[in-house]
Chain A
Amino acid sequence: MPADFNWAVGGEAGDGIDSTGKIFAQALSRAGRHVFTSKDFASRIRGGYTAYKIRTSVDRVQSVVNRLDVLIALTPRTIEENRDELHDGSVIIYDGERTTMQDAPIPDDVVGLDVPLKRLAEDAGGAIMRNVVALGAACAVTGFPIENLDSALEKRFGAKGQKLVDNNKEAARKGQSYVDENHDHEFDYDLETTDNDYVLLNGDEAIGMGAIAAGCRYYAGYPITPATDVMEYLKGRIEQYGGHVVQAEDELSAINMALGAARAGARSMTATSGPGIDLMAETFGLVATTETPLVICNVMRSGPSTGMPTKQEQGDLNAMLYGGHGEIPRFVLAPTTIDECFWKTVEAFNLAEKYQLPVYLTADLSLAVTEQTFEPDAFNMDEVEIDRGKLVDEDGLAEWQNEKGQFKPHAITEDGISPRAVPGTDEGAHMTTGLEHDELGRRTEDTDMRIKQVDKRDRKVETAEQREEWEPREFGESDADTLIVSWGSNEGAMVEAIDMLADRGIDVRFISVPYIFPRPDLSDAIDDAEDVFVVECNNNGQFADLLERDALARVDRINKYNGVRFTADELAERISGALADAPEVSQ
C-alpha cells in the first residue's frame, strides 16, 4: 500500500464539487491525517468541468501528484479528464442511474463502483446530498471511520441546524452501507487515523488571518478571482478586532480608500489580482511618493487582460517590480507556502510601516486556493511582533519641526526614513502630495530638493537591505552541482521532487526565494553550480531574468533625475570624469 492516498471529486461547476472536497479534506484533517488539496475549477457557474483533488498521508504532504486512487465522478467528462491518472486498482464511484452516467466509460483496469447516489440521498432527505452519499461510499472503500466525516459535516452544516446535520450523516451512512452490502470487492486502501490535531486552511485565509494578527484594521477591495477569499475571510472577523472591510466600486477606489485609512494611521490593506493591479498602478506611485505604509496583496492568476481567471500563473512579477510611471521603491514579498502566507503578511505590515512604503505581498492562485494541514503551532500568535517604525507622538514632534514649528513628514534623514505623525496629533498638521515635495510635504520643483527626496526614498531600500534579513529557504544537497531556484508556490512540489530526483541518482540544491525585492544575492550560488534552473509558472522567466541580471557584471551608470535634461557638454564631462575614476582593467 502506498504511503499517500489520492482522491478526487469531479463534475460540472455548480455540482457542489468544492464543498464536497472541502468536507472530505476536513474529515481527513480531523482524523489526524495530513492533507494537500488542489482545485481545477472552471470560471463559469454552470457548464464547465471542475474538480477537487486531495492528497493525504500520515506524513506531511506538500504537493499533489498525477495519480488517483479513488475518483468520485459525477459526469463522464470527469473520467475522461482523469483517465491518465487512474491505475490498476483505482476505484471510480459513480451513479449509474444518472442518465449521463449509464454508459460511463469505466476503464477496464479500474474498479467501477455503481452507487445510486441520488436515490439514496432522496431516501435520506434530499437529492442535494448525493455528494455526501458518495463520501460515505468513499469511506467504505478506504476503511475510513465515518465518525470523522460526521465531524466535518457538523462543522459544515452545524450553523444551519441539527436536522440538516443529521440528514447528511444519514446520507453518508447510506452510501457506506450500500457499498458494504452490494460490492464484495477487496479494496487496496486503508486510511489510518492518528491523534494529531491539525488545522486546515488555504493561502488566502492565511493572509487574512496574518493581517488581523498584524493589527490590520482596514481593508478595502473589489471582488476579483482569486483574491476575493481574502476579503470574505476578513469580513465578519476583522470587525471583532475593531476593524472594517469595505467593498469599493472599483480597484481605483479600493486602493485610494486603503491609502486614506493608512494616512489616518491604520494598518491598511487591499487585495486584488492582475487586472486590479493594473488599475491600482495609477495610485501606487502616490502611495509610494507620499511614503505611506500600505500592503497590497496580489493573488496572481493567468494574464494578460482577463486571461484565464481561475488558472495558475506567476506572471505579474514585472508588473509589481516596475508597474507605474516614474521610479519609486517598493518591496515585493512572495510567500512560498501557506503557513508563510501568514508570517509574510505580518512581516509585510511591519516592513511597510518601518520603511513607509507600499509592500506587494504576492501569492499565486495555487497557493491561495490550496488547502493544507499544519500543526496549529505553525500560527503561534505569541510570536507575532509588531514594529510601527518611526511613529511620533506629541512629545516626539518637536525634534522634527522646523524653526516655524512646522512638522516635516519628509525630513531628509541618514537612513532615509522620516518621522510619521498620524492625524489628530497636536501640532503635527502637515500635508503631502503626489507632486515632488520638500521636507514639509509641499510641492517643489527645486532641483536640489528633488534629488534629496529621490535619494532619501532610495536610501530606505539600502537601510532595509542592511537591517533586515532577506534570507531564502534552502533544501536538498548544499554542495550539489545542480541548482534549482524558484519563488512562490512551487516550493512544495519542488521539495518533494528532490526525493524523486535522488531516486534517479540526481542530487540537487534547491533555493526557494520568498523575497523578490529586496532579494538575497544568489550570485555565488549560481557561480558555484554547473547547471542552474529557475522554476516559475510563466512563459518569459521573469525571475530568471532578475537572477541573470544580478549575476552579470555591472555596467557603469550615468543618471540624472533633477528634472532637467542632459546637455552635451555635461555628458562629455561626466563620461570623461567616470573614465578617469575607473580602475585599470587588467588583461
Chain B
Amino acid sequence: MSSDVRFTDFKSDKQPTWCPGCGDFGTMNGMMKALANTGNDPDNTFVVAGIGCSGKIGTYMHSYALHGVHGRALPLAAGVKMANPDLEVMAAGGDGDGYSIGVGHFIHAVRRNVDMTYVVMDNRIYGLTKGQASPTSREDFETSTTPEGPKQPPVNPLALALSAGATFIAQSFSSDAMRHTEIVQEAIEHDGFGFVNVFSPCVTFNDVDTYDYFRDELVDVGETDHDPTDLEAAQDVILDAENEYQGVLYQNEQANAYGAEHGLTENMAEIPDGAPEDATDLVREFY
C-alpha cells in the first residue's frame, strides 16, 4: 500500500450496528487514527477481536482480522505477532472479555510483554447480552442478574496489570477523541505490551458510568506533573479509590519486548519447499 494512508482506509464498508451514541464508535475512530498516524496500513495490520459488542470491531475496521472466541483475544494476538514480527498487532475487546472470562490470559499477556496493543472498551456492563454485571461494575450496580448489585468489589485492571509487571498502562475516554487517539498511539509506539483501558460508555444499559460522569470525574495526568516512568507515582494513581484518571499512567521503556528477548525476527510463514537444510542432523542425533 502507498505511504499516504488515511485513517478512513482502516474503515470497512460495513455499517456498525452499535447503538447510536455507543462509546465504541469513538474508541474505534481513535484506534484507526492512531494506526494511520503511526504509519501502518491495513495490509500490515492484524486486529484480533473478542466477543461482545466490542468484538464487532473487527468487522467495522478494515485490516487483516480475526474475531475469535470469548476471552481469548490476547493469546491469539500473541501468536500472530510471534509468527510475523513485521505485523502491527492490535487486540480489542470488552471488560467482560478481558477481565472476566479472559482475565487469566490478561495477566500472562502482561507478563509476556509481546509488542502489541491491547484496547479494552470498558463500559462496566455486559451490553450484548442486554445488561448484566461485568467485572468492572460497581458493587451496588443493579442489573437483571444482580438485583442488589454484585456485592463484590470491581476488578481494578490497571492494578492487575501493574502487579503482573506491565510495561505500559494507560487509560482513555472514547469521547475525548484527541487524547484517546494520542494515548492509543503511544501504546502502539511502545515497544512491548501497550495496554489501554478505554472508558467507552454504554448508553443503553449503564446509567451510572455515563459520558457526563467521565467528563466530570476524569483527571488527565497529562495536565498534572505525573511521571509515568515513576513506579510509585503510577501506584498512587492506579490505586487511588477516590479519582479516575486518563493518560499514560505507567511506562517502563527499559524492559525488552518478548520478540527481542527471544530473538524473533523472521516471518515464519516463509518455509522451504522440502525439509529444511541440515534436517538430517536431527536424525543423526538419534544414533
Contact = CB atoms under 8 A, between A and B. Distances in A.
Interface of A: 29-30, 197-201, 205, 209, 212-215, 217-218, 220, 237, 239-244, 246, 248-250, 252-254, 256-268, 282-283, 286, 290, 376, 379, 381-382, 384-386, 404, 422-435, 442-443
Which of B12, B48, B65, B107 has the most chain A CB within a 10 Å cutoff?
B65
A259 B276 contact: no
A458 to B, nearest CB: 22
Given A199-B286, A218-B83, 15 more contacts: A29-B287, A199-B284, A257-B75, A260-B75, A261-B80, A283-B68, A283-B69, A376-B284, A381-B279, A423-B64, A424-B87, A431-B47, A431-B64, A433-B66, A443-B59
Contacts of B42: 429
A252 B45 CA distance: 24
Interface string B54-87: 0000110011111111011011111111111011
A418 B71 CA distance: 28
Nearest to A422: B269
A261 B58 CA distance: 18
A66 B166 CA distance: 57
B115 to A, nearest CB: 14
A244 B66 contact: no
A249 B104 contact: yes
Contact of B282 (A212, A259, A443): A212
Contacts of A426: 1, 43
Contacts of B58: 431, 433
B272 A263 contact: no
B39 interface: no
A423 B82 contact: no
A215 B108 CA distance: 28
Contact of B272 (A215, A244, A264): A215
Contacts of B66: 259-260, 263, 290, 431-433
Contact of B82 (A197, A209, A218, A427): A218
Given A263-B66, A265-B269, A424 B86 contact: yes
A259 B282 CA distance: 26
Contacts of A430: 64-65
A386 B59 contact: no
Which of B72, B269, B278 has the most chain A CB within a 10 Å cutoff?
B269
Contact of B46 (A29, A404, A423): A423
Nearest to A242: B266
Contacts of A254: 75
Contacts of B241: none
B267 interface: yes
A385 B283 contact: no
A248 B75 contact: yes
B236 interface: no
B105 interface: yes
A249 B276 contact: no
Given A218-B79, A260-B77, A213 B275 contact: yes
Contact of A257 (B65, B71, B79): B79
A431 B59 contact: yes
A248 B286 CA distance: 28
A199 B281 CA distance: 12
B130 interface: no
Contacts of A252: 71-72, 75, 104-105
Contact of A429 (B63, B83, B282): B63
Nearest to B84: A264
A260 B64 contact: no
Interface in B84-100: 84, 86-87
B14 A442 contact: yes
B59 A213 contact: no
A481 to B, nearest CB: 41
B113 to A, nearest CB: 13
13 contacts: A199-B283, A200-B286, A217-B83, A239-B263, A240-B278, A242-B266, A260-B77, A262-B79, A265-B268, A266-B83, A267-B271, A283-B68, A404-B13
B76 A237 contact: no
B156 interface: no
B264 interface: yes
Contacts of B107: 249
A216 B152 CA distance: 46
B72 A244 contact: no
Nearest to B269: A265
A258 B45 CA distance: 19
Which of A240, A267, A283, A424 has the most chain B CB within a 10 Å cutoff?
A424
Contacts of B86: 424
Given A241-B276, A253-B75, A429-B42, A264 B83 contact: yes
Contacts of A282: 69, 72
B202 to A, nearest CB: 21
Contacts of B104: 249-250, 252-253
Nearest to B42: A429
